Structure formats: C-alpha cells, structure tokens
C-alpha cells in the first residue's frame, strides 16, 4: 500500500535548539494516527513543518507520493492536506453557515469570488448551499446555522472548526489537540466525530492529543515524540506497555486510567 503522508528525516533547528531531530514516519490509507509527547516535545513544530508554516532545516515531506517540502500552507491545503488548530479558529462575527462557506472557498475555488467568472460563482453558490447543509447535519450544528459563531459554546466552536476543515475537502486532516478545552462529554463526542470522519467521509487523520483515553480509543497507531525525536511507535496497547514511553510521558496519566 502506498503511503498517504511520508515524512523523511525531517529536522528543524531554532538557533541552538533542535526542535525536530531526524523524524521519519508514514501513514497508510484509512489510518487514524496519534502523535503524543510531553509539552515542548516538538509536536506542533512537526505539524508546522508538514503544512508549510515553517521550512525544515533538512528532510522531506511527501503527500500521496508528491514532494510538498517547502510548499506554502495554501499549496499544501489545495493538495488536500488540511489542518485544524488547538484553539477554536472561527470567524466570530460571521454566522456558522458563512464560516462553512469560507472553509469551502479555500479549496474549491482557489481564490476570492471577485476574481472568478460568473458561471463558476453561480455553480459554487448552489453547491455550497447543499454542502453546508450536509456538513451542518454531519456535525449536528443545524440549530446554530444562522447564529454568529462567537455566540456558540466553546465546544460547538471547535466542532465548527472541524466542519470548516471538512468543507475544504481534505484527503487527510491534521488535528492539533482537538479535545483541548473540552469537557469530558464533549471530548467523547469529538472522538466519535473523528471516527465518523474516517468511516463516513473516508478521510485519513493525524492528531496531536493530550487526552490519552481519546488517543488510545480511536487511534490505530501512536507515534511518541520526546525532545524532537520519535522514541516509540506502535499500537495503543504496545505504546501503553513501552517502558521509555511510560517514563517520558504516560507515568502521570496511567494512574488516571
Ligand atoms: P509541543 O507542540 O510538542 O508542545 P512545540 O513544537 O511547540 O512543542 O515546541 C518544541 C520546541 O521548539 C520548544 O522548545 C519550543 O520552545 C521551540 N519552538 C517552537 N517554535 C519555535 C520558534 N518559532 N522559534 C523558536 N523556538 C521554537
Ligand atoms: Mg503544541
């Protein structure tokens, strides 16, 4: 099977600090992969390198067999690699429906509406209405459709952020701490939503997450990073038994399970 995302010997130095050190991994089609590690381990830096927010010092990133190293975030997104952020990043003054339209525009049109010919805009308007309705139903945000996003409870704003990412038609979603700031019930709902994104939308997922219960319940495979390096990779069961992982990261969390 050919890889979806392939990171090859990726390194990033910030001055004297090696934030990412010779990191290599692949994801396979259909997988949900978890990326865990203590604070400052280099998880967000890895996402930034993959999605073109920052450039690697060395190494390569391939997506569906194509080299995307050094591509801009917009170019990466247009190839179907879409990212969600740790905090809710919605347009608070715009309605939920308008937010979804913005998410769609990102990938479908490749530019602002003003620059496109009228027939394409007309098709987009018609399609975007239908797709917005489908997405609202998928994430159960219909009751909020006409409300400004800023008025939604925080959990619903994060869900909207996920729906906006889906509106951009990703092939793979990179999610940075989807459960951060959510209560236990919302966390469980978010985990369930991620599983449905895979099973119903057939989108691959890589997630950075601190909530170990969520990671171990929804991920097929977990990659553990510490001080910029991969220290372990395996199934959730293997990771929970790994001595170095328990020492570096899981020690505190295991007591909670
Ligand atoms: P994590 O997401 O795992 O908590 P980060 O990737 O945010 O960790 O950070 C990894 C290390 O790189 C930290 O020591 C952080 O301070 C450093 N770092 C991240 N971004 C920058 C930057 N733009 N400039 C300098 N140092 C950075
Ligand atoms: Mg981070």
Q: Cα separation of 205 and 106, whole Å?
A: 19
Distance 54 CA to ligand 1 centre (A): 12
Distance 177 CA to ligand 2 centre (A): 8
DSSP for 32-48 reads EEEEE--TTSSHHHHHH
Domains detected in the chain: 5-248 (3.40.50.300)
- Residues of the chain with pLDDT > 90, as a percent, come to 72
Q: Report every protein residue that has its C-beta within 5 angstroms of ion ligand 2.
A: 43-44
Mean pLDDT of 94-117: 73
Q: Tell me which of 257 and 95 has the higher pLDDT.
A: 95
Pairing status of strand 58-63 against strand 66-67: antiparallel
Mean pLDDT of 194-206: 97
Pairing status of strand 32-36 against strand 204-208: parallel
| Tens digit of each residue's pLDDT (9 = 90 or more) over 122-157 | 877 888 889 999 999 999 999 999 999 999 999 999
Mean pLDDT of 161-188: 94
206 lines ligand 1 (CB under 6 A): no
Q: What is the pLDDT of residue 78?
A: 87
Question: Is residue 254's pLDDT more than 50?
Answer: no
Ligand 1 atom closest to the Cα of residue 47 is 6
Mean pLDDT of 222-243: 92
**Is-contact 198 204, C-beta < 8 A?**
yes
SS3 of 121, please?
helix
41 lines ligand 1 (CB under 6 A): yes
Distance 148 CA to ligand 2 centre (A): 28
- Residues of the chain with pLDDT > 70, as a percent, come to 91
Q: Cα separation of 97 and 81, whole Å?
A: 22
Alpha helices in the chain (DSSP H): 43-50, 73-78, 96-108, 118-138, 154-167, 184-201, 212-218, 236-241, 243-245, 251-254
Report which of 177, 165, 149 is spatially closest to residue 201, judged by C-alpha positions: 165
20 lines ligand 1 (CB under 6 A): no
Ligand 1 atom closest to the Cα of residue 15 is 25
35 lines ligand 1 (CB under 6 A): no
Q: In sequence order, which residues have a C-beta less than 8 Å from that of residue 38 and are 6 or more positions away?
A: 226, 248, 249
Single pTM value for the model: 0.89
57 lines ligand 1 (CB under 6 A): no
Residue 253 pLDDT class (50, 70, 90 cuts): very low
């Amino acid at each position: 099977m050919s890889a979806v995302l392939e990171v090859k010997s990726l390194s990033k130095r910030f001055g004297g600090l090696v934030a990412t050190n010779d990191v290599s991994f692949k994801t396979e089609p259909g997988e949900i992969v978890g990326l865990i590690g203590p604070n400052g381990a280099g998880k967000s830096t890895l996402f930034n390198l993959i999605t073109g927010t920052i450039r690697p010092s060395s190494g390569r990133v391939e997506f569906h067999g194509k080299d995307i190293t050094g591509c801009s975030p917009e170019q990466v997104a247009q190839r179907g690699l879409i990212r969600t952020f740790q905090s809710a990043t919605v347009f608070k003054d715009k309605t939920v429906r308008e937010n979804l339209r913005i998410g769609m525009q990102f990938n479908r049109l490749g530019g602002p509406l003003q620059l496109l010919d009228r027939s394409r805009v007309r098709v987009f308007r018609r399609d975007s209405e239908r797709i917005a309705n489908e997405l609202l139903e998928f994430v159960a945000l219909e009751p909020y459709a006409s409300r400004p996003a800023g008025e939604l409870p925080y959990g619903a704003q994060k869900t909207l952020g996920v729906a906006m990412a889906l509106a951009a038609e990703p092939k793979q979603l990179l999610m940075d701490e989807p459960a951060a700031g959510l209560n236990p019930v919302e966390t469980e709902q978010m985990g369930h939503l991620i599983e449905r994104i895979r099973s119903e939308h057939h989108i691959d997922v890589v997630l950075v997450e601190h909530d170990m219960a969520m990671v171990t319940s929804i991920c097929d495979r977990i990659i553990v990073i510490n001080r910029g390096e991969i220290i372990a990779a395996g199934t959730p069961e293997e990771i929970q038994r790994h001595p170095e992982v328990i020492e570096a990261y899981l020690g505190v969390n295991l007591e909670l399970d």
